[in-house]
A and B are shown apart, each in its own frame.
Chain A
Amino acid sequence: MRVQRWTGTSRAFTGATIAIAALLGTVPLLFEADVVQRLTNLLILVLLAAMWNALAGYGGLLSVGQQAFIGIGAYGTVFFAGLGVSPYPAMLLATLVAGVISVPISLFALRLRAAQFAIGMWVIAEVISILVRLDQNLGAGTGISLIQLNQYAPNFRQAYTFWLALGFTVIFLSALFFLLRSPLGVSLQAIRDDEDAARSLGVHVAARKRLLFVLAGFGCGAAGVLIGANTLFIEPGSIFSVQWSAYMIFMVLVGGLGTFEGPILGAILLFGIQTTFTQGGPWYLVGLGATAALFALALPRGIWGTIEERLGLRLLPVGYRVVEMKSEERTV
């Protein structure tokens, strides 16, 4: 017997994914600004879904407060741009700040378990939101425009933002992919399934959870930066809205919690729904919530998790399979 990680199919599909990512780079050259803006939104959704999945699907951390980091990323950009940093470097700085702030937050939040953690994260997001509302320089409760981005012509601005979104998405999804493929990958999944049993097998649960939490802090911060740059106007009521968590939960549950491919699928699905039902409104959110609940009950492994189970398909392989040796290997 031997251990197999790549198959012909998964090699081909991973190659295709890399090719698609490279092709996406040409989008701003080929399409109008409004299409580019919408595809930027798609990338933001993919990034958010992957980060929530990293927390919940691998670390067992069900957060409904990741909008804290989204808000820090968006407002961080405004803050640094206000200090005179040019807009795009300001976005990188803001991402960095969101990631770094996640470290002290983790010291508090990761002491909480399960539902306490979920609610605790929501409280943290609300507290940060209130702090922003108190700051006149950040537009207080009424919001603020990212006027510094007006120095670029709309087409160029949209292209730069798209490339930044593509770069962030590739970087964070690759980081997660390689983390899950590394020897730490199985430890992370073990924590998700049974913390105490993981501990009894030598997994340092607290340190591993912190790793995921900080990764998600960076990733959600990056998404917040992109949301700000893509909409040019932010206000605390929407950027710190728990709605972001609802979107993330929807994408991950429907796509497939704890699978690498599922959340990407979920993001594409939500993007499709958002494009079709542009009116929004409360019934739209009720529909999203009901769908997510339905999936949790009827198809708990989500669309991708079910496909993977039925067909034994792994396209972006982070797992392991034990297979028979090939005959030439057996004779060696």
Chain B
Amino acid sequence: MDAAVLAAVDVRKRFGALAVLDGVSLSLREGEAVGIVGPNGAGKTTLLNVLSGALAPDSGGVDFRGRDVTSRGAADRCKLGIARTHQVPRPFIGMSVFENVLVGATAGGRRRGAEAYDLCLRVLDQTGLTPIANRRAESLGLLPRKRLELARALAVEPAVLLLDEIGGGLTDAETAALAQTVASLRDSGIAVLWIEHIVHLLMQVVSRLVCMDQGRIIAEGVPEAVVAQAAVIDAYLGARA
């Protein structure tokens, strides 16, 4: 088995009396795509915040390529190669789409000049944003904002990509295209951790599925097997019905 590129080790996080993460351990290997499902409030996004450095865990830690990065901030982790998207898109509204992406390429990716521009143009192409490259991000609707989240993260040229619900609200054709995009990122060697409610979308891309509920991992393994487990059906699908 390949070494883990990113790992959460017994991560715990409380908000007041509520244990949002209650001892979560999870590892991600090079070129592997892992999906996370679970009902709202299961702790998925909090886990992603801890992995990306936006939130410090109460206990436990995060390893990147075998190094403990728990004490490193979000900017440092991004520069190391951990990029993320936000569930509720957070575009830089006063800047153009291209300039938004350029932040990822220059700050996180440390690219300069023509190298950075070419990278950004490539990423815009890949995410279908080229036609609106000069639009102020403020004027974008939800879907382009989500694509911009992905584009900015890709401009970092990350080793690990943490995706937080980028698939909501898409048509069938768009969903298929998104699955293809993420699959090609995975094939290019990027490790992908993907939180998504649309299970059939995840199943097209991930080789491992993790189901969380109430701050714990309640099932983990081959996607088909995880989806079939009674606990998962109760916690996740049951919660939706």
Residues of B within 8 A of A258 (CB): 94
A–B complex contacts, Cβ < 8 Å, 30 sampled: A1-B121, A1-B133, A2-B117, A3-B98, A3-B120, A183-B116, A186-B95, A186-B99, A186-B106, A187-B107, A189-B92, A190-B100, A190-B103, A193-B94, A194-B93, A196-B90, A197-B86, A198-B107, A199-B74, A200-B52, A200-B53, A200-B54, A200-B75, A201-B103, A202-B78, A203-B103, A309-B136, A321-B96, A321-B134, A322-B124
Is the CB–CB distance between B90 and A322 below 8 Å? no
Q: Which partner residue on chain A sits nearest B113 by CB separation?
A: A183
A-B pairs with beta carbons under 8 A, tally: 110
What residues of chain A have their CB less than 8 Å away from a CB belonging to chain B? Answer: 1-3, 183-184, 186-187, 189-190, 192-194, 196-205, 258, 309, 319-322
Which listed residue (B86, B100, B117) contacts A200, Cβ 8 A?
B86
Residues of B within 8 A of A194 (CB): 90-93
Q: Which partner residue on chain B sits nearest A257 by CB separation?
A: B94
Residues of A within 8 A of B104 (CB): 201-202
Residues of A within 8 A of B133 (CB): 1, 322
How far apart are the CA atoms of A3 and B124 in the complex, in Å? Answer: 12
How far apart are the CA atoms of A30 and B103 in the complex, in Å? Answer: 47
Q: Which partner residue on chain A sits nearest B133 by CB separation?
A: A322
Is the CB–CB distance between A186 and B84 below 8 Å? no
Residues of B within 8 A of A322 (CB): 98, 121, 124, 130, 133-134
Is B73 at the interface (CB under 8 A from chain A)? yes
How far apart are the CA atoms of A184 and B112 in the complex, in Å? Answer: 10
Q: Which partner residue on chain B sits nearest A208 by CB separation?
A: B107
How far apart are the CA atoms of A184 and B121 in the complex, in Å? Answer: 19
How far apart are the CA atoms of A231 and B29 in the complex, in Å? Answer: 68
How far apart are the CA atoms of A201 and B134 in the complex, in Å? Answer: 20
Is the CB–CB distance between B108 and A186 below 8 Å? no
Is B47 at the interface (CB under 8 A from chain A)? no
How far apart are the CA atoms of A327 and B130 in the complex, in Å? Answer: 18
Shortest CB-to-CB span from A75 to chain B, Å, is 37
Is the CB–CB distance between B75 and A204 below 8 Å? yes
Residues of A within 8 A of B96 (CB): 319-321
Cβ contacts B63-88/A at 8 Å (1 or 0 each): 00000000001110011000110100
What residues of chain B have their CB less than 8 Å away from a CB belonging to chain A? Answer: 52-54, 73-75, 78-79, 83-84, 86, 90-96, 98-100, 102-104, 106-110, 112-113, 116-117, 120-121, 124, 130, 133-134, 136, 152-153, 156
- 8 further contact pairs, Cβ within 8 A, besides A186-B95, A202-B79, A258-B94: A1-B121, A186-B103, A186-B106, A190-B103, A200-B86, A201-B152, A321-B134, A322-B98
Query: Which 9 A-B pairs have CB atoms at the shortest separation, nearest pair first?
Result: A202-B108, A202-B78, A193-B92, A322-B133, A197-B90, A202-B107, A3-B117, A183-B106, A199-B74
Is the CB–CB distance between A200 and B84 below 8 Å? yes
Most chain A CB within 10 A, of B52, B79, B84, B102, is at B102
Shortest CB-to-CB span from B2 to chain A, Å, is 25
Shortest CB-to-CB span from A41 to chain B, Å, is 31
How far apart are the CA atoms of A198 and B107 in the complex, in Å? Answer: 9
How far apart are the CA atoms of A190 and B103 in the complex, in Å? Answer: 7
Shortest CB-to-CB span from B42 to chain A, Å, is 22
How far apart are the CA atoms of A196 and B84 in the complex, in Å? Answer: 12
Is the CB–CB distance between A320 and B52 below 8 Å? no
How far apart are the CA atoms of A203 and B106 in the complex, in Å? Answer: 9
How far apart are the CA atoms of A189 and B133 in the complex, in Å? Answer: 17
Shortest CB-to-CB span from A256 to chain B, Å, is 11
How far apart are the CA atoms of A205 and B107 in the complex, in Å? Answer: 11
Q: Which partner residue on chain A sits nearest B153 by CB separation?
A: A201
Is the CB–CB distance between B94 and A199 below 8 Å? no
How far apart are the CA atoms of A316 and B120 in the complex, in Å? Answer: 23
Q: Which partner residue on chain A sits nearest B95 by CB separation?
A: A189
Shortest CB-to-CB span from A318 to chain B, Å, is 10
Residues of B within 8 A of A320 (CB): 96, 98-99, 102, 117
Residues of A within 8 A of B102 (CB): 186, 320
- A319-B99 in contact given A199-B73, A202-B104 (Cβ < 8 Å): yes
How far apart are the CA atoms of A13 and B136 in the complex, in Å? Answer: 23
Residues of A within 8 A of B94 (CB): 189, 192-193, 258
Shortest CB-to-CB span from B113 to chain A, Å, is 8
Is the CB–CB distance between B130 and A1 below 8 Å? yes
Residues of B within 8 A of A189 (CB): 92, 94-95, 99
